[in-house]
Amino acid sequence: MTAIFSCSSLYTTSKSPIFNNPNQSINYIRLSHSHNTTTSIRRFRPISSSLNPNRLQFSHKQKDGFSGIKECVLSVALAIGLITGVPSLGFPSNANAITPALPDLAVLISGPPIKDPGALLRYALPIDNKAIREVQKPLEDITDSLKVAGVKAIDSTERNLKQASRALKQGKSMIIAGLAESKKDHAIELLGKLEVGMEELQKITEDRKREAIAPKQKELLQYVGGVEEDMVDGFPYDVPEEYQNMPLLKGRATVDMKVKVKDNPNLEECIFRIVLDGYNAPVTAGNFVDLVERHFYDGMEIQRADGFVVQTGDPEGPAEGFIDPSTEKTRTIPLEIMVEGEKAPVYGVTLEDIGLYKAQTKLPFNAFGTMAMAREEFENNSASSQVFWLLKESELTPSNANILDGRYAVFGYVTQNEDFLADLKVGDVIESIQVVAGLDNLVNPSYKIAG
């Protein structure tokens, strides 16, 4: 009998990195800013003419072959001067206006890169409450404590727990003061559960039950994340006017993606759960949720699965994206990147385009199962329906220093059963994707329009 696994986390599919014109010696990168109709052309002369910094691009319908992701990221790095020592590119003043400030909470999340999707989503919430972050940080650190061998792991966990308990006791009034009024009762209930859960974790450490620590830690962080979400009061910024009539996700949504797996005796069916972040990518996440509600992906095959990414979203026929029935044209969305320390995303340009080479993105390519949009090689605003999930990092794309960051629009993470993404193969079928929470955060849904 074939085993059936139910997986509750979702990663999106990815477009393949495709390398065209490998002998081209000069690259022209076209930059366009959403608030400026001026178009600027910048030349980059690669150090080697055999390396070409081309974009992650549309899928299997193109005839050109792949070069490997290492060559891709290396060529990009070479083309932009290995990220350092690059002269000013002379863009229009408003396109260069973003100067990311270092957030006050940066000290709380410094250190090794965060790779847990849940932690990334918690830190990506648009809140500024140091007290709750000081509770969260030591609880997150228990993950690293458990990597230590023997009883030292439990001792380290006890120290983390004492730090979190002390922070909660000292900062509780500040935490409550930061809650949205309409969500205060729910958050206070969660804080009560958090206090009880911390006492239970203390008992677990005293009894030296190492195997019980991680499940309890996960529970406590769910309470923390819930409190943090209850601090968000409405949507924090205005989407640019030119995109305000598009489907927008003003908040977060959760989707379940059910995949029928072929030719795998150990895995017949899997359900992945994905959290989509509209706070940091409202246009990108809104476009995806709208397509999900149109059942666009239902019955579509996995179109790429090479150990680095999983990809889907290329419909049958000549079109490489979603054809809007109301216009009979491909619906495209702008490149959308939220920079750490900024209040609204950058639209239409990569971060390197505007000189932000060292800026951190709010939704980085750190986690296994990071979900992002693919686009045409030289057109930043060409993404439509093709999506990809990053499966692993290479030595050239390490977490927290990833050349993909700031070049492709991340809009979600698989939060459960993400490891099963590595088992997917080309030809496996997405039976369905369903929104299980947060659909009320979608505004301007086009799927409700007849046709």
- pLDDT of the residue at 25: 30
pLDDT digits (tens, 9 = 90+) for 211-221: 999 999 999 99
Rg from Cα positions in the chain: 22
- pLDDT of the residue at 128: 94
- Residue ranges in 207-343 assigned as alpha helix (H): 213-229, 282-293
Q: Which of 236-240, 273-277, 319-323, 402-406 has the lowest mean pLDDT?
A: 402-406
Q: Which range is most confident: 63-67, 250-254, 389-393?
A: 250-254
Angstrom distance (rounded) from CA 268 to CA 258: 11
Confidence of residue 46 (pLDDT cuts 50, 70, 90): very low
Q: Once rounded to an integer, what is the mean pLDDT over residues 308-321?
A: 93
- pLDDT of the residue at 50: 27
- pLDDT of the residue at 395: 63
Per-residue pLDDT for 204 more than 60? yes
- pLDDT of the residue at 394: 61
Q: What is the DSSP letter of 390?
A: E
Better-predicted residue by pLDDT, 7 or 260: 260
pLDDT digits (tens, 9 = 90+) for 51-70: 233 345 555 454 333 334 44
Averaged pLDDT of the chain: 80
Pair 302, 287: CB distance under 8 Å: no
Angstrom distance (rounded) from CA 301 to CA 420: 16
